[in-house]
Amino acid sequence: MASAIGESANIEHLATLLDRNREGIYTCVHCGLCLPACPTYRQLGDENDSPRGRVYLMRAVSESRLAIDSVFAEHIDSCLGCRACETVCPSGVPYGELLEAARAELASTRSGGVEQKLLRFVLNRFFTRRALLGVLMWIARTFRESGLAQLAFDSKLLGNRGRLALALLLSSRPALTSNAENRAAGPSVSTSPKVAILRGCVMEGLFSHVNRATERVLRKSGCELVEANGQVCCGALHAHAGELETAKELARKNIDAFRATTCDTIVINSAGCGAAMKEYKHLLADDPEYAARAADLSKKVKDISEFLIGIGAKPSEAIVARRVAYDAPCHLIHAQKIASAPVDLLRSIRGLELTPLIGSETCCGGAGIYNLQQYELSAKIASDKVDNILASGADMVVTGNPGCIMQIGASLLMRGESIRVAHPIELIDSAI
Amino acid sequence: MAKSYTLPDAVADRLVSILGKRFVLTHPDELLVYESDALTLHKHLPPAVIIPGSAEEAAAAVKVLAEAKIPFAPRGAGTGLSGGSLSLHGAVIIELARLNRILKIDYENRLAVVEAGVINVHLSEATAPGGFHYAPDPSSQMACTIGGNVAENSGGPHCLKYGMTTNHVLGVEVVLPNGDLINIGGGGVDVPGYDLLGVYVGSEGTFGITTKATLRLTRLPEAVKTLLAEFMSVTDASRSVSEIIAAGILPAALEMLDQETIKAVEESIFAGGFPIDVAALLIIEVDGLRAGLERTAAAAVDICLRNNARAVRVAADEAERQRLWGARKRAFGAMGRIKTDLMVQDAVIPRSRLPEVLDEIYAIAKRYGLKVANVFHAGDGNLHPNISFDGRDPDQVARVDAASKDIMSLCVSVGGSITGEHGVGMDKIDFMRMIFSDADMERMLAVRDAFNPEGLCNPSKVIPAMKTCRYCGFGIEDLRHKRAVHQEIS
Ligand SMILES: Cc1cc2nc3c(=O)[nH]c(=O)nc-3n(C[C@H](O)[C@H](O)[C@H](O)COP(=O)(O)OP(=O)(O)OC[C@H]3O[C@@H](n4cnc5c(N)ncnc54)[C@H](O)[C@@H]3O)c2cc1C
Ligand code: SF4
Ligand code: SF4
């Protein structure tokens, strides 16, 4: 063990970031109750790839028993960030915060390989600029619609990782072939409540059909939509990759954009973005100018399902005859602790049969771009998910996060299954 | 820390060829997380950890280790509270978490065959649709493995009525310490020959490595009623427990929480809605056929009220019942928030002595400047005093150690025992002398030698060093002694 101590030049610096989270680290009592909730531990059986193990590694770093080198990096990198461990932890370990600190430590100490550099480049150069991102998304969309993506996927010329990338893109196509897109939106019923929507980058870029459905449902439910100009990417991807400074910059821009509106609520239809914006108060806690504003904004953020249940929205009499399985996005059930709202919404749709899905609260292995970075482990996790979906007998899967829609859709495609994945709001939209 | 061990390269290479590189951990940084189980008081770094993916792989790996005379220790989920899975004498940890398949569910014969790494609650979840469950329910059931349960003969709140693990194991597949794979027991009611299964259950991983278990499935009760009784004195609560048992009521569970525990739980995210101004709470659960259950529950309520219960509440629905049990079963974690580490003690006392024992435990804690909270499986007298402390402070650790010893002596002095369900492991090994004579322990050693003659499997657990060997000077069950003897023989 002695060999691990004090060898890294970075140890001092690394210890500082995790050090600030010591209190969080020490809330772990090493009980192990979180182990079976962790998808990576379930696959590997290695305590280093479990929540208790990862917290222990962070603790060792903060106590200078462990250097921040390849072993630490490997096991922090293999974490999905799904936060299932937080939901079951009796001691209230703030795992998400600890992970962010650990990743920021890592990002600041390693130069990284080509892949790491490319990721950083894309995150910092593209995802911070709306125009550039718009072009990128347009290219992706055009490729998706042109039939070339499908052709390339079918040709089987590419390796597994390449095929997965195509399958992910293909899975962002609208799952419902209803004519909802062409339907005129209903008139605004009353002037309250005033709602602003986070358009999101991937959501607006690849899932504009879901954004439009969200707008229609909100209007039909009597909300007034207000536009928040100047809004940018929520910064979730950056925070998860340890790029905290960029994440903070984006958060500040969004705070300014939404503060400039008269909205009472910020409605978000992407669980990952919702979780990130609810955590702005934590992200900017040390920012004297923005801390209070961030806390204020976080309070206004609501997931679309949470919001609709809150205002008592009711679907119409329309019948949606489908057998659907609901899969809970980690950033909704574990990060935002919203478990029943989407299910209650789906239940209220006439004709819709909700079939139980084993492991619905377990991560699908998507986790941002984890599926491409940690291809093999992610594929195993996804494969369990597909098995459970097939066993459920559902003809459609429903989940409220773009990453999950693409990951589950892609995993089904890779298996040659035709079951599609939709956002709950698309079903509500077709029923309202 | 003690002497550090490393695994010879040749042995590591052979293990890699059996298990694959990913499942043989030897980098020192990767071994750190295996230095403790759920009791962080003890820390021992293993030289290596191996994670087999099947019984056959486990057997092949054990054969390699046995040939090289390298000791090993099985580990399940590491939720143990007696340091049972820690690496002593340089034992290689054999982690069984990947053996997590439920192989067979047979409702007709009411049994299931599972691999050793299956999580306790997963079996109950898998059999619930058929109307069955696996009855032993340790509070750690959401995480602990069947292999660990068999090793510790684990109990749980509902074992008062349904019995401990040993009452639910019909057979096991075991890798013996020489690498042979054998079956003990079987599906039948009575197996000809010696009842080795009874001996094996509770052997704390010192007889071999369980790879599969055949378990009894129990029908889910038709109806359940859960009561929460509030008491302003521990004496009144204890008296109620005794009277309930004396009245011939056999509750499915009968748990007592003291005020410190209640406070900790209510401050956590798993708050059960417990009142925090009471001295003790009783959770009383009765189950069985719907007919008659009302009457049984009413009788229990009556007894509590007669013994000055301030109020007795009945869980209105399954959700409230789940909340009560959720809070109870997470008490350990909730108490852990108070300080960085937690010592969960485990002792058995005669139920009738509870009030005085509790008073004395509070006094002991006070004497050492520590905080103690108590949870009590009241029905069978199994007491868990929990002491929160800061493991980074050697002085506190020493005080916790001393207080534990005093608490154990106290429990033994009132006619109790040193462990109810968490096992002896390495933590309680010194307490064994409080209740067993050398002759007792020599017989136990003789049984262990029948399974584990070279002492390679989970060395220096359960039975303390006893006599010193005349020739080599080591304790007779000490691994070094075994090696010395072995060298003499061969
Ligand atoms: C919060 C909490 C609550 C608890 N509540 C209870 C309770 O109510 N009742 C109770 O009885 N215990 C309880 N425990 C203690 C613990 O959970 C049990 O002892 C459990 O059976 C250990 O299982 P494990 O898989 O974690 O085993 P480990 O901790 O990994 O190992 C325990 C022992 O079993 C041996 N072992 C493990 N797997 C095998 C195998 N396959 N073959 C042979 N030997 C093996 C190990 O060598 C070790 O000696 C609790 C623990 C915690 C943290
Ligand atoms: S459940 Fe929480 S306290 Fe227990 S080991 Fe996991 S992170 Fe630590
Ligand atoms: S966030 Fe998910 S993958 Fe990471 S430790 Fe927690 S449960 Fe495991």
Q: Is the CB of B202 under 6 A from ligand 1?
A: no
Chain segment A274-303, per-residue pLDDT in tens: 999 999 998 998 899 999 999 999 999 999
Q: Which candidate in B33, B49, B265 is best for mutational testing of the A interface (most A CBs within 10 A)?
A: B33
* Structural domains of chain A, with CATH: 8-109 (1.10.1060.10), 114-170 (no CATH), 194-309 (no CATH), 316-430 (3.40.50)
- H-helix or E-strand spanning residue B311: strand B311-314
A410: nearest Cα among A381, A342, A428: A381
pLDDT at A15 over 60: no
Residues contacting residue A423 through CB under 8 Å, at least 6 positions apart: A207, A210, A213, A269, A398, A399, A400, A405
Among B30, B49, B332, select the one facing A90 at the smallest CB separation: B332
The span from the CA of A355 to the CA of A347, in Å, is 11
Q: Are B63 and B43 in contact (CB under 8 A)?
A: no
Tell me the CA–centroid distance for residue B130 and ligand 2, in Å. Answer: 32
Integer Cα distance of B255 and B421 in angstroms? 15
Which pair of structure tokens corresponds to residue B211?
């790879």
Q: Is the peptide bond before B464 cis (omega within 30 degrees of 0)?
A: no
Given the structure tokens 């109750």, which residue do they identify? Answer: A33
Higher pLDDT, B41 or A270: A270
Mean pLDDT over all residues of chain B?
91
Q: What is the pLDDT of residues A312-360, one digit of tens each?
A: 887 777 788 899 999 999 999 999 999 999 999 999 888 899 999 999 9
Residue of chain B whose Cα is closest to the Cα of A69: B29
Residue with the two structure tokens 């205002």: A311
Beta-carbon contacts of residue B105 (< 8 Å; ≥ 6 apart): B112, B126, B127, B130, B217
Q: In terms of CA atoms, which chain A residue is nearest residue B138?
A: A33
pTM: 0.91
Q: Do B341 and A29 touch (CB under 8 A)?
A: yes
Pocket of ligand 2 (CB under 6 A): A 28-34, 51-52, 55, 85, 89, 91, 93; B 333
What's the pLDDT at A185?
Answer: 42
Exposed / middle / buried, residue A3 (Cβ in 10 Å: 0-12, 13-18, 19+): exposed
Q: What angle do CA B363, B369, B374 make, to 5 degrees?
A: 55
The Cβ of residue A223 has, within 10 Å, a number of other Cβ atoms equal to: 27
Give tens-digit pLDDT for A127-169.
777 778 888 888 888 888 888 888 888 887 788 888 888 888 8
Atom of ligand 1 nearest to the CA of B74: 47
Mean pLDDT of chain A: 87
Residue B102 C-alpha, separation from nearest chain A C-alpha, in angstroms: 14
Across the interface, whether the CB atoms of B33 and A92 are under 8 A apart is answered no
> B302: which residues sit within 8 A by CB, 6+ positions away?
none
User: Would you state the pLDDT for residue A7?
Assistant: 39
**Is the minimum distance from the CB of B139 to ligand 1 under 6 angstroms?**
yes
Mutation test of the interface with chain A: which of B1, B30, B79, choosing the one with the most A Cβ atoms within 10 A?
B30
Name chain A contacts of B30, Cβ cutoff 8 Å: 46, 48, 71
Say what the pLDDT of residue B485 is: 57
User: Cα separation of B97 and B80, whole Å?
Assistant: 14
The pLDDT, as a whole number, for residue B189 is: 62
Whether B29 sits inside 8 A of A69 (CB atoms) is yes
Nearest chain A CA: its distance from B273 CA (Å) = 15
Can you tell me the distance from the alpha carbon of A33 to that of B144, in angstroms, rounded to the nearest whole number?
8
CA of B302 to the centre of ligand 2 (A): 40
Q: Which of B46, B43, B94, B92 is nearest to B69 (CA)?
A: B92
Exposed, middle or buried, B416 (CB in 10 Å: 0-12/13-18/19+)? buried
pLDDT at A8: 42
Q: Is B152 in the pocket of ligand 1 (CB under 6 A)?
A: yes
- In this prediction, residue A317 carries a pLDDT of 72
Ligand 2: which residue has its CA nearest to atom 8? Answer: A28
Residue A179 pLDDT more than 50?
no
Residue B485 neighbours by CB distance under 10 Å: 17
| Interval B66-95: pLDDT, tens | 999 999 999 999 999 999 999 998 999 999
Residue A24 tokens read as: 């969080």
The residues of chain B scoring below 50 in pLDDT are 1, 489-490
Q: Which amino acid is at A331?
A: H
User: Structure tokens of B26?
Assistant: 């030897």
Mean pLDDT computed over A202-209 = 90
pLDDT of residue A188: 40
Q: What is the pLDDT of residue B187?
A: 60
Segment holding B215, helix H or strand E: strand B209-216
Q: Do B79 and A32 touch (CB under 8 A)?
A: yes
Residue A95 above 90 pLDDT? Answer: yes
Q: Under an 8 A CB cutoff, do A91 and B51 touch?
A: no
**A40 alpha carbon to ligand 2 midpoint, in Å?**
16
List, chain by chain if needed, residues with CB within 6 Å of any ligand 3 atom.
A 37-40, 51, 54, 79-85, 95
At A379, phi and psi to the nearest 5?
-65, -35
Q: Return the residue in A3, A7, A28, A47 with the most chain B beta carbons within 10 A, the one to mutate for interface testing.
A: A47
* CB-CB contact of B424 with B432 (8 Å): yes
Spell out the domains of chain B, with CATH numbers in brackets. 9-95 (3.30.43.10), 102-219 (3.30.465.10), 223-340+350-362+373-390 (3.30.70.2190), 432-484 (no CATH)
Residues facing A317 on adjacent strands:
none
Between the CA of B334 and the centroid of ligand 2 the distance, in Å, is: 10
Chain A residue with CA closest to B49: the answer is A46
ipTM: 0.91
What is the SS3 string spanning A197-250? ECCCHHHHHHCHHHHHHHHHHHHHCCCEEECCCCCCCCCHHHHHCCCHHHHHHH
Q: How far is CA A1 from CA A32, A426, B23, B33, B291, in A?
A: 23, 54, 20, 12, 62
Give the Å distance between the CA of B418 and the centre of ligand 1.
17
Cross-chain residue pair B32–A60, CB shorter than 8 Å: yes
Per-residue confidence (pLDDT) for residue A4, from 0 to 100: 37
d(CA B41, CA B176): 30
Residue-wise pLDDT for B253-279, tens only, equals 999 999 989 988 888 777 778 898 999
**Residues of B in Cβ contact (< 8 Å) with A35:** 77-78, 97, 143
